[in-house]
Amino acid sequence: MPFLQDPPRLTNAYLADPLLRELVARALPGALGEVEPELEHLGELAAGRLFAQQAVERLLEPRIEHWDAWGRRVDHIELTPLWREAATLAARHGLVATAYERRHGPASRVHQLALVHVLEPSLDVYACPLAMTDGAARALLDAGNAALVERALPRLTSREPARMWTSGQWMTERIGGSDVSLTETVARRDGDDWRLFGTKWFSSATTAEMALALARPEGAPAGSRGLALFYLETRNEDGTTNGVLVNRLKDKLGTRKLPTAELTLDGARAVPVAGLSGGVRAIAPMLTVTRTWNAVAAVAGMQRALALARDYARRRAAFGAPLAEKPLHADTLAGLEAEREGAFLLAFRAAALLGASEAGVASDAEQLALRAVTPLAKLTTGKQAVAIASEALECFGGAGYVEDTGLPRLLRDAQVLPIWEGTTNVLALDVLRALAGEGVGEALAAEVNAHLAAARDPALRPAIEAARAALARAEAWLAAAAGPAREAGARRLALTLGRTLELALLAAHAQWCLDHGRGPRALAAARRLARHGIDLVAEEPGAEELELLTGPSADGGAR
């Protein structure tokens, strides 16, 4: 007997996302007539033709040809058709350019990333090369290297598909991973040029025309201070490779359309971006941008997963009624939506702060808060993205575990978000470092308090109280914790701060919705998020517990 079940369907990815529409209305009130038609157009494309094409291409993957028919090393990577179309769409719709044209001043980052939010879930992680491209543009501008800006920026921010370049971000090495201070790639002088020799172990989107790479100039000291940031183009003018050999493509859990490669740099001609040291400092602006994109990709993925799960709940009947009418299923979906709304507002707050900073209008406190909000947004939303994708798959029962529904991809592609661009723990330590900076903790607290102060409706009181209590506990912990306990608690602290800011943003947004006739949905989400719990600092274990759970006793004394 055939099993006939209506598959989940999508409707316009912009129009069917009230939270995104509210954000756009708040951030770009004077420009709605200009930005909304494009968002609606892309929303239609994302939910319609591109969504269908994703299903058709489900099994396609990029392929690498190392040699041409006549024995020349070419390392040609053939992308999937949807990725080729994504490159065209990205240029035409200014998915990078919008941030640099800055037609809407400080709100240009929100505008740009709203476009990304609508399209990315239908572009099979094409956000990866775009994030790095955007980050490279930012790093070159911040380094103030006029020659490189003049050469690369018009390409990186082009709206012409044939002219637009993408950039790689080459940091990770076999020995290094998160700890880039161990970088082995060396830069040797060759007349007026520099040449890079070494191996890059994870290079995402290897079809890029250029890359920013960390390398150690010959004779420079060990450690990260001895690293410099280099600019290189991957091909020579005649199309031959610039000393960049693609050894193989990675066989990854997800992001399967994204060609991630292991590279050998064998004399790649390169140019220092900002002198011959301080490479980590020089690449930090790129990380700020890519981590913001990561947070936006996380919330975009959550929205896609929940849109599918909600639609399916109306089509799928079990135990005598559509799932949407089953109290437990509806309660599950409501909890996921509340998490998504907090995460969404945090990701876009990071974007708004970045936009204000780039436009030169951020207050001193906003500038300081940005340093902490970026890693907080990246690490908090990355974890939520995996949890929500996992729950969303479960909403489909067995179908969520079956490949040709297209659903498992949602979980696989979410799982990269807490890993690349700094794992949760690496970013939690980054938050600790950021909070050690003068005024950063105060600026972050002021940020939380300002949003809470905007929330006046009495129904928001439990959410406000939960956020105030969590912030106070985090501040007390930070003032008291020292030594290994401080490091051990870094993740709990960071997730508490991330979730607290989410709740504060959601409370303020709920108030805006009430004030502007947008209804009580966000208020319900704020109340629900507060009940989920936002304070992980409270869960701090003792040192003895840590030893019992990770020491020899955890392996039955096997060590």
Residues that bind ligand MFK (CB under 6 A): 127-128, 131-132, 169, 171-172, 178, 180-181, 204, 224, 278, 280-281, 284, 287-288, 290, 293-294, 297, 420-422, 426, 430, 433
Encoded tokens for 207: 């079809």
In the complex, the smallest distance separating the C-beta of residue 172 from ligand MFK, rounded to whole angstroms, is 5
Task: Using the minimum distance from each CB to ligand MFK, give the nearer residue, 108 or 255.
Answer: 255
In the complex, the smallest distance separating the C-beta of residue 531 from ligand MFK, rounded to whole angstroms, is 30
Backbone angles phi, psi at 458, to 5 degrees: -55, -30
In the complex, the smallest distance separating the C-beta of residue 129 from ligand MFK, rounded to whole angstroms, is 8
The residue type of 234 is T
Task: Using the minimum distance from each CB to ligand MFK, give the nearer residue, 440 or 495.
Answer: 440
Run of H or E including 265? strand 261-272
In the complex, the smallest distance separating the C-beta of residue 7 from ligand MFK, rounded to whole angstroms, is 26
In the complex, the smallest distance separating the C-beta of residue 182 from ligand MFK, rounded to whole angstroms, is 10
Cβ(506)–Cβ(463) under 8 Å?
Answer: yes
Residue 491's Cα: distance from chain center in Å? 18
Cβ(457)–Cβ(523) under 8 Å?
Answer: yes
Task: Using the minimum distance from each CB to ligand MFK, give the nearer residue, 8 or 62.
Answer: 62
The residue type of 98 is T
In the complex, the smallest distance separating the C-beta of residue 382 from ligand MFK, rounded to whole angstroms, is 10
Task: Using the minimum distance from each CB to ligand MFK, give the nearer residue, 417 or 525.
Answer: 417
In the complex, the smallest distance separating the C-beta of residue 60 from ligand MFK, rounded to whole angstroms, is 20
Cβ(467)–Cβ(530) under 8 Å?
Answer: yes
Task: Using the minimum distance from each CB to ligand MFK, give the nearer residue, 224 or 405.
Answer: 224
Residue 142's Cα: distance from chain center in Å? 21
In the complex, the smallest distance separating the C-beta of residue 154 from ligand MFK, rounded to whole angstroms, is 22
Cα separations (Å) of 325 from 8, 293, 318, 319, 322? 16, 36, 10, 11, 6
Task: Using the minimum distance from each CB to ligand MFK, give the nearer residue, 342 or 422.
Answer: 422
Name the 3-class secondary structure at 292: helix
Helix axes 490-515, 461-480, angle to 10 degrees: 150
Task: Using the minimum distance from each CB to ligand MFK, give the nearer residue, 334 or 436.
Answer: 436
Task: Using the minimum distance from each CB to ligand MFK, give the nearer residue, 300 or 501.
Answer: 300
The DSSP call for residue 241 is B
Task: Using the minimum distance from each CB to ligand MFK, give the nearer residue, 200 or 310.
Answer: 200
In the complex, the smallest distance separating the C-beta of residue 295 from ligand MFK, rounded to whole angstroms, is 9
Smallest CA-to-CA distance from 295 within 465, 93, 505 is with 505
Closest residue to ligand MFK, Cβ-based? 224
Cα separations (Å) of 250 from 63, 205, 246? 11, 11, 11
Encoded tokens for 95: 């998915």
Name the 3-class secondary structure at 266: strand
Task: Using the minimum distance from each CB to ligand MFK, give the nearer residue, 292 or 511.
Answer: 292
Smallest CA-to-CA distance from 373 within 277, 484, 501, 191 is with 501
In the complex, the smallest distance separating the C-beta of residue 371 from ligand MFK, rounded to whole angstroms, is 6
End-to-end CA distance of the chain, in Å?
A: 55
Smallest CA-to-CA distance from 168 within 226, 223, 209, 201 is with 209
Q: How far apart (Å, rounded) are the C-alpha atoms in residues 425 and 205?
A: 25
